[in-house]
Amino acid sequence: MNRVRSALAHLIAVVAVLLMPLALTSAWSSAVVNDEDRWVETVGPLATDPDVVNAVAVRLEDLAVATVDVGGAERALEDILGADLGGAGARTEQALREAVRQVVVRVVSSDVFPPAWEEAMRATHTQLLRALRSDSGAEVSVDLGPLLQAVLDSLSEQGLPVTVDASGLDAAFSVASSGELDQARAGYQVVDAAGLGLPVAVALLAAVALLVSARRMVTAGILLVGAALSAVVVWLGLGAARTLLLDRAPTADRNLLAAMYDVLVADLERLALLVVVAGPAVLVVLLLLRRLGGRRRREPAA
């Protein structure tokens, strides 16, 4: 009878272990990916991240330079930079880029940037969930249009001939292409359907396995070591996903995408690391306690 109980307990424990990677991921997804406010709270602080600020500044500078009529900008540039350009085309283009860079730096360093970044992240989150939950969808991107418009308005105020406003330009950078979303959709929908119910179910399975088992230390070992291995699988999966994402991204966008990815999965990485450390540690403690208990039982009564 004890053998049957132990076999059943071990089977339940193995099922719980096999479900643990999905349970960890679904718990994180429910808490971060599916919650718009938590998403914005997580990625909002990137508005002060140097890699993000630099990537946004480079994109805004390139777009803004293309909107200015170089031929009509020389006099205004001489006033802005306090230098005589002498009618040289190359010097005028160089001066234009320098003037635009100064404006862009002011915009991304001002109080305008953090709320504009948060609003862009909110819109990106809406795009992402719509794309993942539907049968198909366009790419997910971060719209820098409001920031670009702030740059163009400042350039116009300085007398530079801006030929188009931000609404006529593609001021977004891609986070995920439609092809990448097609590949991720099935996995996300499984995780989304599991929700917070799966972690609870895994915990219940582990409890049942321990209650049923006639050899609870062995069952506890299966659960704790299995949990650690499951967390390693999650950690390796996150690393592989990061590599795949950045390999497919344009070189200019990689630092920004890396910063976004790292901050979004940071909670899941910390949870996985905690499980990797705690699982074996708890097992060692249980083994030590069992050994000490055995010694005390063998000691002769005083």
Residue whose tokens read 């002498």: 86
Average pLDDT over residues 92-96: 74
| Mean predicted confidence (pLDDT) in 104-108 | 92
Percent of the chain with pLDDT over 70: 88
Predicted confidence (pLDDT) at residue 299 exceeds the cutoff of 80 = no
* For range 163-170, the mean pLDDT: 76
Neighbours of 99 (CB within 10 A): 22
In this predicted model, which residue has the larger pLDDT, 90 or 275?
275
Q: In this predicted structure, what is the pLDDT of residue 302?
A: 44
Burial 158-197 (b: 16+ CB within 10 A, else e): bebebeeebeebebbbbbbeeebbeeebeebeebbebeee
Hey, what long-range contacts does 123-129 have (CB within 8 A, 24 or more apart)? 124/175, 125/36, 125/39, 125/40, 126/36, 128/33, 128/175, 128/176, 129/33, 129/34
Tell me the pLDDT of the chain averaged across its residues: 86
Mean pLDDT of 37-57: 93
Mean pLDDT of 63-67: 84
Q: Where are the beta strands (DSSP E) in the chain?
A: 140-143, 172-176
Q: How confident is the model at residue 42 (pLDDT cuts 50, 70, 90)?
A: very high
Q: pLDDT higher for 83 or 261?
A: 261
Residues counted in the chain: 302
pLDDT digits (tens, 9 = 90+) for 225-253: 999 999 999 999 999 999 988 988 888 88
Least confident range from 25-34, 49-58, 132-141, 239-248: namely 132-141
Can you tell me the distance from the alpha carbon of 99 to that of 132, in angstroms, rounded to the nearest whole number?
A: 41
Report residue 32's pLDDT band, with 50, 70 and 90 as the boundaries.
Answer: very high
Please report the pLDDT score of residue 91 as a whole number. Answer: 66
Mean pLDDT of the region 244-265 = 89
Q: Return the SS3 of 5.
A: helix
Q: Give the residue carrying structure tokens 């990625």.
A: 43
Cβ count near 249 (within 10 Å): 21
State the pTM of this model. 0.84
Q: Span 21-42, mean pLDDT?
A: 94
With a cut of 70, say whether residue 294 has pLDDT above it. Answer: no
Query: Is a pLDDT exceeding 80 seen at residue 30?
Result: yes
